[in-house]
Structure 1
Amino acid sequence: MSWKVTTFAPRDIVQAALIAHEDAWDWDHAIVIAGSEIAEDKPDDWQLEAWMDRKPTKADRTAIAALFTSGAPKLIVEELPDEDWVTLSQQGVEPIREGVFYVHTPQYPPLREPGVHDFVIPASQAFGTGQHATTAGCLAMLTHMRRQGVCVRNLADIGTGTGLLGFAGLRLWPAARAVASDIDAVCGPVVAENADNNGVSLGDGAGRMAMVIAAGMDHPVLQAAGPYDLLIANILAGPLVELAPEFARAVVPGGSVLLAGLLETQEPAVRAAYRMAGFRLAARMVRGDWSILWLRRRAYREASRARRR
Structure 2
Amino acid sequence: MSWIVSLPCTRAEAEALSGEIPALDAAPEAPVVVTREIDEDAGTWQLDAYMDDAPGDDLLRLIQSLAPSAKGIAPTVAELPEEDWVTLSQQGLEPVRAGRFFVHTSSYADRVPPGATSFLIDASQAFGTGGHDTTAGCLAMLDRLARAGAAPRNIADIGTGTGLLAFAAMALWPRARVIASDIDPASIFVTRDNAAINDVPLGRGGGRLALAVAPGTDHPAIRHRAPYDLVIANILAGPLITLAPDIAAATAPGGRAILAGLIARQMDPVLAAYRAHGFRLSARGGSAEWPCLLLTKRRRYGYRRKERALHRASPSDASFGSW
Q: TM-score range, shorter-chain basis?
A: 0.7 to 0.9
Aligned to 1:57: 58
Post-superposition offset of 1:84 = 6.7
Matched, 1:247 2:251: no
Matched, 1:109 2:105: no
Post-superposition offset of 1:4 = 4.6
Aligned to 1:164: 164
Q: 1:123 to 1:227 in 2, by over 3 A?
A: same
Aligned to 2:177: 177
- Cα RMSD of the aligned pairs, angstroms, is 3.4
Post-superposition offset of 1:33 = 6.9
Q: TM-score if structure 2 supplies the norm length?
A: 0.76
Matched, 1:30 2:3: no
Matched, 1:186 2:148: no
Q: 1:269 to 1:86 in 2, by over 3 A?
A: farther
Point out the structure with the larger strand share: 1
Post-superposition offset of 1:215 = 1.6
Query: What are the residue-to-residue correspondences of 1:54-133 with 2, within 5 Å?
Result: 55-57=56-58, 64=65, 73-74=71-72, 76-79=74-77, 81=79, 88-107=88-107, 108-109=109-110, 111=112, 113-114=114-115, 116-133=116-133
SS of match in other structure, 2:114:
coil
Q: 1:59 to 1:119 in 2, by over 3 A?
A: closer
Aligned to 1:307: none
**Residue pair 1:133, 1:288 contacting (<8 A) in 2 also:** no
**Residue pair 1:7, 1:76 contacting (<8 A) in 2 also:** no
Whole-angstrom distance in 2 between the partners of 1:72 and 1:92: 22
Residue identity in the other structure for 2:280: R
Whole-angstrom distance in 2 between the partners of 1:277 and 1:76: 49
Q: 1:105 to 1:35 in 2, by over 3 A?
A: closer
1:4-59 superposed Cα distances (whole Å, 9 cap, x missing partner): 574545x56x48x949x98x9x856336877765422234x556677888535399
Moved more, 34-43 or 246-255: 34-43
Whole-angstrom distance in 2 between the partners of 1:111 and 1:219: 37
**Residue pair 2:50, 2:85 contacting (<8 A) in 1 also:** no
**Residue pair 1:166, 1:178 contacting (<8 A) in 2 also:** yes
Whole-angstrom distance in 1 between the partners of 2:124 and 2:46: 23
Post-superposition offset of 1:274 = 1.4
SS of match in other structure, 1:262:
coil
Gaps of 5+ in 1: 305-309
Aligned to 1:140: 140
1:36-83 superposed Cα distances (whole Å, 9 cap, x missing partner): 65422234x556677888535399659938x97xx9844544445477
Post-superposition offset of 1:98 = 1.1
Q: 1:2 to 1:160 in 2, by over 3 A?
A: farther
SS of match in other structure, 1:202:
coil
1:78-105 superposed Cα distances (whole Å, 9 cap, x missing partner): 4454777565322352222210111222
**Residue pair 1:18, 1:35 contacting (<8 A) in 2 also:** no
Whole-angstrom distance in 1 between the partners of 2:127 and 2:176: 24
Q: 1:152 to 1:48 in 2, by over 3 A?
A: same
Gaps of 5+ in 2: 306-323
Aligned to 2:318: none
Return the index of the structure with the highest Cα Rg: 2
Matched, 1:300 2:300: yes
**Residue pair 1:7, 1:74 contacting (<8 A) in 2 also:** no
Matched, 1:274 2:274: yes
Q: 1:146 to 1:47 in 2, by over 3 A?
A: same
- How many residues align? The count is 292
Whole-angstrom distance in 2 between the partners of 1:204 and 1:58: 42
Aligned to 2:236: 236
Query: What are the residue-to-residue correspondences of 1:251-262 with 2, within 5 Å?
Result: 251-262=251-262
Post-superposition offset of 1:126 = 2.0
